[in-house]
Amino acid sequence: MRLPLLLAAAALLPLGAAVAQHAGHHQAADPIAAAIAAPSRTATNTARDKYRHPAETLAFFGVKPGQTVVEYSPSGGWYTEILAPLLSGKGTFYALQPTGRYLDGYRNFLAAKPEVYGKVKLVAYPEDTASIPANSVDTVLTFRNVHNMVMGGTEGATFKAFFAMLKPGGTLGVVDHRLPEDRDTALEKSSGYLKVSTIRRIAEAAGFDYVGASEVNANPRDTADWPKGVWTLPPTLSQKDVDKDKYLAIGESDRMTLKFRKPAA
């Protein structure tokens, strides 16, 4: 159709219909933005977008609607609120939740909105991991969980599981609290912070190639030397009212955003 005819057709539309048509084209062009704007997201979680930068983070990791995606340890479902709508049409979303205190809570979270989360495939880790076929996943994501693996000594086995489920050429995306490289490595066992070099070592030992990093989740106000580790800062605020305004002004932690790839060969 020629441009003048298009303009004439648009002029015949009621204003609301024209706006809706424009919004539909925008959402089709930017499915991540549409998922972030989903009305099913909770206000508590959307308030943290300014710290977690979901649009930029998912774009950096190359997440797309038609993919098969695994999120390891989704816990309270912060990213599930975005990934479930994003992948519900023609993708597949596995929630790989470690057995323990969060598993039942996450199951209840999914059950509360079956119209939104009915297609999420919940898999208990490690016992049911084999239900995710080997070499079948486009992207594995884990947000602020590797420090827990390191404190529990499970990082080697968990990264090997990620490697096995990913397709050759598949992506592993990692976000975690960043410890400066010149700090004592012993802090990684107690502070919740990890060095970039530590996560690279873990991933590369499992067979991954390092692709690169983004500073989208960086926070230079975080000095990573707090009395109760990373949990001193929001959202946990472990010190409660002690210096609360100070920690709120700092914001959430300084985070590394690292991208790895399973070799294609």
Q: Locate the domains of the chain by residue range.
A: 15-261
Q: Which CATH architecture has domain 15-261?
A: 3-Layer(aba) Sandwich (3.40)
**pLDDT band at 28, cuts 50/70/90?**
low
Instruction: State how far the Cα of 253 lies from the Cα of 231, in Å rounded to an integer.
Output: 9
Q: Decide if pLDDT at 9 tops 50.
A: no
pTM of the predicted model, to two decimals? 0.89
> What does the pLDDT read at residue 86?
98
Q: How many residues does the chain have?
A: 265
Residues 243-253 have pLDDT tens digits of 999 999 999 99
Count Cβ atoms below 10 Å from residue 92 Cβ, excluding itself. 18
* Side-chain half-sphere CA neighbours of 2 within 13 A: 2
Q: Examine the pLDDT at 207 and tell me if it is beyond 50.
A: yes
Q: Average pLDDT of 62-70?
A: 97
Residues 139 and 61: beta-carbon distance below 8 Å: yes
What percent of the chain has a predicted confidence (pLDDT) above 70? 89
Instruction: Please say if the pLDDT value at position 20 is more than 50.
Output: no
Burial class (CB in 10 A: 0-12, 13-18, 19+), 59: middle
